[in-house]
Copies of this chain bind each other. A is one copy, B any other.
Amino acid sequence: MAGVSPGTVDRVLHNRGKVSPENLEKISRILEDHSYHANIHKSALSLRKSFRILLFIPRYTAGSYWDGQIRGFEMGIREYSDIDIVADKLTYDQYDVHSFIETSSQALSMKPDGIILGPTFRRETIDFCHKLEKEKIPYVFVDTIIPETSPVARYAPDQRRSGLLLSNILDLICEKDKSLLIVNPKRLGSESFNTIEREEAIREAYSAHGIADRLKMLDLSMQDSDFAIILRDYLNDNPDVGIIAVPNSRANEIAACLDSDHVGRLKIGGYDLTDGNRECLMNESISFILDQKPEQQAFQALKALLSYLIFGRVHESLENEIKIEVIFRENCINPLKNT
């Protein structure tokens, strides 16, 4: 259309220079007018490259949140099966920082072309990211965004906002003058940043509304064999509690502790559509679940990484806030589905 050869257009597309100002202008205009976007499949083909992509996330069990990320990742690999992708997965123990450190050096030694990273430990993740930058290995965050890093893209829900969503829905559901109890069932005493942010957002909202007295907290260690008894005793001692917020994915374990008397009286809201939580939605021991759409996070992360590796940049916005989905009994279907 510009009356020039493909070579010239290619030089404009990749601004490699050596194009006369007139042609540059003319070609740029045409590209703009037609809102040209190179096709990723053709570009990948022509580049004659293979892309080694590593998904590096916490160890997971079937039907869990991180299993959802795996499913989204694999779906993406299938979707782009015409591109030469070598997909690898590596998991670490999210309750053991040494595991992360060891596995991350293993990740580095695999020399992948790009990494999708589900982080847990802040300090160690920053170190790892700096090493990746030194090696010029692009990375994308899913689930959590760690500051002081330079990811190519990031796909995570806004945890503060999701905390507000959790407490506001519970508030809507709750009879007036009842209290909200945040139960935090911990494992090994460690607590994720996401959980902390969610809790904080709820606390601040209650303070801001001047109803901090209606907010209670209970820490439970799942190691304790009698945590169920502790919870039940607490609830009996605090009959004003009408709603329970579980700021991590273990709402089903809390629901399982309650006797039928409590189940009928209390509303529980939690996170993540795990198999256990899905079951509790069905038997109505949990009122609703906030789904962070792990499948979508990993899928989008893969797309962004491929876009970066093939085009040298990510086409959509880098900051991609994942929309939280609210799941009640009636819309708890379709474990997977495209995006």
Contact = CB atoms under 8 A, between A and B. Distances in A.
B331 A324 contact: yes
B81 A37 contact: yes
A187 interface: no
A293 to B, nearest CB: 10
B299 A323 contact: no
30 contacts: A37-B78, A37-B81, A41-B41, A42-B82, A161-B330, A161-B331, A162-B330, A165-B330, A165-B331, A168-B328, A169-B328, A172-B172, A172-B267, A173-B173, A296-B337, A300-B338, A303-B338, A320-B337, A321-B333, A321-B334, A323-B331, A323-B333, A323-B334, A323-B337, A324-B331, A325-B331, A326-B327, A326-B328, A326-B331, A339-B339
Nearest to A267: B172
Place the interface of chain A in its size category: 35 or more
Nearest to A299: B338
A287 interface: yes
Given A172-B173, A300-B338, A164 B330 contact: yes
Best-surrounded residue of A161, A164, A323 (most CB of chain B within 10 A): A323
A15 interface: no
Contacts of A225: none
Interface string A272-283: 000000000000
A237 interface: no
